[in-house]
Amino acid sequence: MLKKLTEEQIEKILTSAITEFGEQGYGRAKISSIAQAAGISAGVIYKYYEDKAALFGACLEHCLDYLDRVYSEVDRNAGDMEDSMEQLVELAIIASREHPEYFRLYHQITLTQDPEEAEILASRIEGSSSKIYTEALEEARRSGVVKEDLDPGYFALFFDDVLMMISFSLCSGYYRERMRLYLGHEPSDAELKEQVLRFIKGAFGMAR
Amino acid sequence: MLKKLTEEQIEKILTSAITEFGEQGYGRAKISSIAQAAGISAGVIYKYYEDKAALFGACLEHCLDYLDRVYSEVDRNAGDMEDSMEQLVELAIIASREHPEYFRLYHQITLTQDPEEAEILASRIEGSSSKIYTEALEEARRSGVVKEDLDPGYFALFFDDVLMMISFSLCSGYYRERMRLYLGHEPSDAELKEQVLRFIKGAFGMAR
Amino acid sequence: MLKKLTEEQIEKILTSAITEFGEQGYGRAKISSIAQAAGISAGVIYKYYEDKAALFGACLEHCLDYLDRVYSEVDRNAGDMEDSMEQLVELAIIASREHPEYFRLYHQITLTQDPEEAEILASRIEGSSSKIYTEALEEARRSGVVKEDLDPGYFALFFDDVLMMISFSLCSGYYRERMRLYLGHEPSDAELKEQVLRFIKGAFGMAR
Amino acid sequence: MLKKLTEEQIEKILTSAITEFGEQGYGRAKISSIAQAAGISAGVIYKYYEDKAALFGACLEHCLDYLDRVYSEVDRNAGDMEDSMEQLVELAIIASREHPEYFRLYHQITLTQDPEEAEILASRIEGSSSKIYTEALEEARRSGVVKEDLDPGYFALFFDDVLMMISFSLCSGYYRERMRLYLGHEPSDAELKEQVLRFIKGAFGMAR
DNA sequence: AATGAATGAGGCTTCATTCAT
DNA sequence: TATGAATGAAGCCTCATTCAT
């Protein structure tokens, strides 16, 4: 005992916390459970984080950074609309598989009822992606790739709506079960991707 | 005081609880706050509910009953596919406006990580609606109203996904703000309904 | 159990707290000990006091009110200097016997190192008594009852100093023991009073 | 780092601890604060002291040694009563100026409620000085320097009482403020000394 | 031998739950 | 029967103490 925390253990604090917060919600999450999951004593968490709220904030930031990084992979080659969409759907699925706990936490924070916090969060999370979507769609509409009667804002919103629900469906027990109910089976990632794209492209008038 | 609780007050317990649970989450919700909001004493809640968990369960049931009732309004005249869809979108918007707190609670429970509970919830909530959707779509596909290459399960799922996000966007501080970011303004119900339908119909190949 | 607190018990919270704070100091005092001494559960203290600091504040206020009341008994008949002095000494002894725990708390608060708090406390505690003393002495000097070369401020201070030490000597284990060491025995109240007066009167040039 | 502690640093532990204990009280004093103030690590304190209580004991002993030394300066030339008194008052003032933190700690320990500890402390602290006072006064009374009706024990006690309050008035925020309230100004050391002596001599019947 | 981070006991505080009124 | 204060378990957090480095 009294062994110095490894780098790994310090990181484990955050990941354990993300899992705990994501599963229990802020109120039910216990510092002691987080510590136990991280294999450390509860007290040491306070060496790294001011208090429970600060730890939660750090978890949030960690997840948002991840989302930023995921999205940034698409930005670069914003060439072909169809490709971008396919990439986005694929990334949503991959990310959901890689870090379902991040999406559960993300789901948690959307529950905030503090209007000010809601605004800050919304800007932080969607600020970049919404612009990417909207601009891409505007361009696509101009070049005739998608229907001209589409409002870019709405369609960006709906597109993100669908991606979000895909993530939830892969990350949350309830949504996964719900998906199974609708489909009658657990879909493979490829199948899911194909169907989502077919749906979206149809909505955008891109289907042939 | 010491007056028997009126029918109205007993109902108020439930609605106050739904609001509190929906806003604070289960862990942070306080029995005393619920009692205060309901205008009764904290103790009397335990005359009607075993404990906090049971009260939460009753809240949930109350919301689900409401959803059942809303959906049942569509069942009856399952004639025209297009009409049904329009009705569903409209109902989603109306219900979200009428009882945003129900949807906030609904959002809460989707976070459960208990697989067994997830299954029960999913069956309870989506069981009926998914069948309605799926069967309607199957029929629509057969009669040529929608594209034939659609998988009814997936499209029912995506349809419900979109409706769900519409509800969240109208009921949650965060999602409302997110919608505003995408659209640049706060949409009217009519505008929202029109755009959703355009999106969905496009996806279903029903657009002209 | 769960018996409603009697008026007596509610008062007991304060007196137990005064004793605990006076004996242990703020830092070592335990809410649980106070509750136990008061014969109640720890939680209920928070129904009556915001937190530990607020409870301490209330204890302080309670003691200061008592001191105010004690001093106010002298004010009224501020006629004869000698009588007043005798009364003051007597009151100090009686009060110390009646509520030694108040004086222990008083002793505690004089330890504050926060300058702002020190100022507030000093004004609150000595504001009235110092003026009483000083004015009485000024009057006494003018009328020739006491030496003319006395500075009223200093002699009021020294008078209060002596009274304060008398109180401490009766209320604190250490000071009581110290007194016994000096005197070789435990003095009666009457003896103590007589000796103090002889000392003071000598200092004031009132001794014949 | 990892350099052996210098003699100076070891002393610094004690002085830092005296300051911390004197300002915060035993309960609120933090080992980590003491270590920081001493410029060493917290752990090393336990190489020199068993635990917090032992450290406190050592602080106390350190202060008492200082008091012993101060008093011993008077012992030697116990010739003239008046001179001795003047010296004692002066020493009290000088010592209070030199090591106010010692007197703050001294103030702290007088609060002990453990009777056994109280006795030990009292003997340790006052044992020597009280005898010095008492014997000197006895001698003075015999030789007619002071009034014959004085009880040496009482007057030694009262003399020490006044000196003690002088020290507190110079060392504690609260008592300093209290003194200012009584006097209307902050006195110089010389002024204070003169007034104290005038007061004491009057009490002892030594005034002309 | 000193460091300073880790431990974990223990104190404050909250609130679900109980029960005397 | 409802009330609402009392209970006490449990969670957050602090800090004296330990010990790997």
- For chain B, percent helix, then strand, then coil, each to nearest 5? 80, 0, 20
Cβ-count burial B130-146 (b if 16+ within 10 Å, e if not):
bebbbebbbebbeeebb
Contact (Cβ atoms closer than 8 angstroms) between residue B105 and residue B60: yes
Chains that touch C (3 or more CB pairs under 8 A): D
Q: Which residue is nearest to nucleotide E2 (CA to C1')?
A: D2
> In Å, what is the separation between the CA of A170 and the C1' of F8?
42
Whether CB of B42 is under 7 Å from strand E: the answer is: yes
Nucleotides of F under 7 A from a protein CB: 1-9, 11-21
Contact B112 A173 (CB under 8 A): yes
List, for residues D147-174, the tens digit of each pLDDT value.
777 788 898 899 999 999 999 999 998 9
Q: Is the pLDDT of residue A155 over 60?
A: yes
Two structure tokens written together for A106: 């993300």
Residue at C149: amino acid letter: D
Q: Is the pLDDT of residue C120 over 80?
A: yes
Per the prediction, chain D carries an average pLDDT of 88
Nearest to D112 among C133, C147, C173 (CB): C173
User: Average pLDDT for residues D103-121, to the nearest whole number?
Assistant: 85
Residue of C nearest to D182 (CA): C153
Q: Is the CA virtual torsion A141, A145, A150, A152 positive or negative?
A: negative
Contact (Cβ atoms closer than 8 angstroms) between residue D194 and residue C194: no
Q: Which residue is nearest to nucleotide E5 (CA to C1')?
A: A4
Nearest to D111 among C25, C161, C177 (CB): C25
Contact A178 B207 (CB under 8 A): no
List, for residues B101-142, the tens digit of each pLDDT value.
999 998 888 877 778 888 888 888 776 677 777 877 777 788
d(CA B33, CA B25): 13
| Cβ contacts of D126 on chain C, cutoff 8 Å | 178, 181-182
Q: Is the pLDDT of residue D179 over 90?
A: yes
Nearest to B157 among A114, A134, A183 (CB): A183
| Cβ contacts of D150 on chain C, cutoff 8 Å | 198
At a CB cut-off of 8 Å and minimum separation 6, what does D161 contact? C161, C162, C165, C166, C169
List, for residues C58-73, the tens digit of each pLDDT value.
999 999 999 888 888 8
| Beta carbons within 10 angstroms of residue A30's beta carbon | 13
d(CA A187, CA B118): 18
Residues 75-104 of C with CB under 7 A from strand E: none
Could you list the beta-strand ranges (E) of chain D.
Answer: none
Nearest to A165 among B26, B121, B164 (CB): B164
Angle at B57 between CA B56 and CA B60, to 5 degrees: 90
Whether CB of A76 is under 7 Å from strand E: the answer is: no
User: Average pLDDT for residues D32-60, to the nearest whole number?
Assistant: 96
Nearest to A104 among B111, B172, B202 (CB): B111
Q: What is the pLDDT of residue A14?
A: 96
> In Å, what is the separation between the CA of C41 and the C1' of F8?
8
Contact C158 D154 (CB under 8 A): no
Per the prediction, chain A carries an average pLDDT of 88
Contact B183 A113 (CB under 8 A): no
At a CB cut-off of 8 Å and minimum separation 6, what does B51 contact? none
CA distance A5 to chain B (A): 29
- Report residue C208's pLDDT band, with 50, 70 and 90 as the boundaries: very low
pTM for the full model? 0.90
Q: Is the pLDDT of residue C139 over 60?
A: yes
Residue of B nearest to A179 (CA): B157
- Report residue C116's pLDDT band, with 50, 70 and 90 as the boundaries: confident
Which residue, among D131, D178, D189, would best test binding to C if mutated, counting the most C CBs under 10 Å from its CB? D178
Q: What is the pLDDT of residue D125?
A: 80
CA D2 to chain centre: 37
User: Average pLDDT for residues C185-207, to the nearest whole number?
Assistant: 90
Chains that touch D (3 or more CB pairs under 8 A): C
Whether CB of A40 is under 7 Å from strand F: the answer is: no
Q: What is the pLDDT of residue B208?
A: 47
Q: What is the pLDDT of residue B187?
A: 96
Least reliable range by pLDDT among A177-186, B65-74, D46-55, D161-170: B65-74
Two structure tokens written together for A7: 């780098």
Q: What is the pLDDT of residue D111?
A: 79
| Cβ contacts of B150 on chain A, cutoff 8 Å | 198
Q: What is the pLDDT of residue D68?
A: 85
> In Å, what is the separation between the CA of D40 and the C1' of E3?
9
| Cβ contacts of D175 on chain C, cutoff 8 Å | 110
Residues 11-50 of B with CB under 7 A from strand F: 40-44, 47
- Report residue C78's pLDDT band, with 50, 70 and 90 as the boundaries: low
Q: Is the pLDDT of residue D115 over 90?
A: no
| Cβ contacts of B149 on chain A, cutoff 8 Å | 198
Q: Is the pLDDT of residue A145 over 50?
A: yes
pLDDT greater at residue D145 or residue B202: B202
Per the prediction, chain C carries an average pLDDT of 88
Q: According to the per-residue pLDDT averaged within each range, which of A64-78, B129-143, C99-113, D182-196 is highest?
A: D182-196
pLDDT tens sequence for chain B (208 residues) = 556 778 888 999 999 999 999 999 999 999 999 999 999 999 999 999 999 999 999 999 999 899 888 888 776 555 677 888 898 899 999 999 999 999 999 888 887 777 888 888 888 877 667 777 787 777 778 887 777 777 888 988 999 999 999 999 999 989 999 999 999 999 999 999 999 999 998 888 875 4
Q: What is the pLDDT of residue C145?
A: 78
> In Å, what is the separation between the CA of C12 and the C1' of F6?
15
| Cβ contacts of D107 on chain C, cutoff 8 Å | 110-111
Whether CB of D7 is under 7 Å from strand E: the answer is: no
d(CA C60, CA C105): 7
Q: What is the pLDDT of residue D1?
A: 52
Q: What is the pLDDT of residue A190?
A: 96
Which nt sits closest to B53, CA to C1'? Answer: E16
Contact C181 D118 (CB under 8 A): no
Contact B179 A195 (CB under 8 A): no
Residue of C nearest to D117 (CA): C174
Residues 11-50 of D with CB under 7 A from strand E: 40-44, 47
pLDDT greater at residue C46 or residue C108: C46
At a CB cut-off of 8 Å and minimum separation 6, what does C27 contact? D24, D25, D26, D27, D28, D29
Query: CA gyration radius for chain D?
Result: 19
Contact B112 A174 (CB under 8 A): yes
| Cβ contacts of B186 on chain A, cutoff 8 Å | none
> In Å, what is the separation between the CA of C199 and the C1' of F14?
50
Closest by CA position to A89, among listed A169, A15, A23, A19? A169
List, for residues A73-128, the tens digit of each pLDDT value.
876 555 677 888 898 899 999 999 999 999 999 988 887 778 888 888 888 877 66
Contact B161 A165 (CB under 8 A): yes
Contact C165 D165 (CB under 8 A): yes
pLDDT greater at residue D62 or residue C73: D62
Q: What is the pLDDT of residue D208?
A: 46
CA distance C14 to chain D (A): 19
CA distance D2 to chain C (A): 33
CA distance A199 to chain B (A): 5
CA distance B18 to chain A (A): 14
Whether CB of D46 is under 7 Å from strand F: the answer is: yes
Contact D161 C165 (CB under 8 A): yes
User: Average pLDDT for residues C125-134, to the nearest whole number?
Assistant: 76
Query: CA gyration radius for chain A?
Result: 19
User: Average pLDDT for residues C189-200, to the nearest whole number?
Assistant: 94
Closest by CA position to A63, among listed A93, A102, A100? A102
Residue of D nearest to C185 (CA): D153
Q: Is the pLDDT of residue D49 over 50?
A: yes
